[in-house]
Structure 1
């Protein structure tokens, strides 16, 4: 689903996605339309502008993910401001691109977010990771924190940075399946259910250093 209150931009994004083989099941111009049409169309991924008539993109992100936690949200915004980026990520967005991104960058981001990766316009990932490090209190240790193997920790750091399974496999000279297994083992240890939660946990624990 594509959500943007500018018709020309909304139509262009929809056209690019359809041209690349994606099925666009709905479009919306306002936050209210987005939430209503999301519930009716049940898209797997939402490409969403933040600056839309109320409720805004952050609120829409929070609401659609509460309705369907398996959905993915990729923010496509004119704003690269720290506050906007962080609010979107905290609401559950798994990707954030500024509108200066190229068509190829948009399509690549959609594919990666659909797979569960975290994707950011270059420069924004460091901003997000740095902010979560700042918010985490290093003096506080969690006695319930599960023990991970060195390899699981290494893979987790790369997940926190938004690398795909394929990229992690290439860097560590492992098979794609082995990387998946490491992530799944970590998920079981943390009693979590998806890579979004895994990434948030890793960032909060400072594993993105």
Structure 2
């Protein structure tokens, strides 16, 4: 895979400088950075592989019910890979980020190692579960847990571990269309349970919450 690029949205200059240094050291190109989400929509930020965004932006407080969430929703709807990197560390916020379609959620206390790994994973459409998110998901006691067949679980886990459905098909000795069918059936079951999982990241979260896969499997 070619070099990964990222757009960083944060309104603290010290954070921007520190995160830029981390990414540069890891060989990740910072295409754009700034306090306004608009940097993700204008060149060169528009073409970045991943968008890292803080929830606590000036005039975009998540407690207001809109703001940063609107920006995240627009980015996800446009097909962007979004990593939330914030001071908030509560379970509700972590799960809400996954519900919104973000690739993953990190607290700023988790630092360089996890942020770099999360961005690299998101760029490759691979799941990444840092400690804070793992804790949030393990604490989720949602009762509506779809029951999957052994084959569905096998295909689902293979998809979490592979970069494409074609690789899953080769591993499981199935056609790509059959793999697609298995994954679609799992999504339908979650949707019927009132717990939609439209993105790969959200499906990973559901599977972890429900004990269908374990962190070590990923």
TM-score, length basis structure 1: 0.69
Equivalences for residues 66-85 of structure 1 within 5 A? 66=77, 68-69=78-79, 71-85=80-94
Residue 12 of structure 1: how far off its partner (Å): 0.9
Among residues 24, 48, 55, which one is paired with 2:30 in the alignment? 24
Alignment correspondent of 1:169? none
**Residue 154 (1) aligns with residue 154 (2):** yes
**1:74-99: per-residue Cα shift (whole Å, max 9, x none)?**
11111211122122111111111111
Among residues 100, 122, 128, which one is paired with 1:119 in the alignment? 128
Alignment correspondent of 1:13? 19
Instruction: Look up the SS of the partner of 1:117 in the other structure.
Output: coil
Distance 1:180 1:20 in 2: 36
**Residue 58 (1) aligns with residue 55 (2):** no
**1:114-173: per-residue Cα shift (whole Å, max 9, x none)?**
111232321522423653x51x535xx7xxx9xx762441342576xxx6439xxxxxxx
Contact 1:2–1:48 (CA<8 Å) still a contact in 2? yes
Distance 1:75 1:98 in 2: 8
Alignment correspondent of 1:3? 9
Among residues 142, 162, 165, which one is paired with 2:162 in the alignment? 165
Distance 1:180 1:27 in 2: 44
Going from structure 1 to structure 2, the CA distance change for 1:188 and 1:151 (only over 3 Å counts) comes to: closer
Contact 1:18–1:24 (CA<8 Å) still a contact in 2? yes
Contact 2:104–2:201 (CA<8 Å) still a contact in 1? no
**1:29-59: per-residue Cα shift (whole Å, max 9, x none)?**
1xxx21x222223222011111112334333
Paired residues, number: 184
RMSD of the alignment, in Å? 3.6
Alignment correspondent of 1:93? 102
Contact 1:3–1:47 (CA<8 Å) still a contact in 2? yes
> Structure 2 stretches of 5 or more lacking a match?
1-6, 61-66, 188-197
TM-score, length basis structure 2: 0.66
Residue 202 of structure 1: how far off its partner (Å): 4.5
**Residue 207 (1) aligns with residue 212 (2):** yes
Among residues 28, 51, 63, which one is paired with 1:46 in the alignment? 51
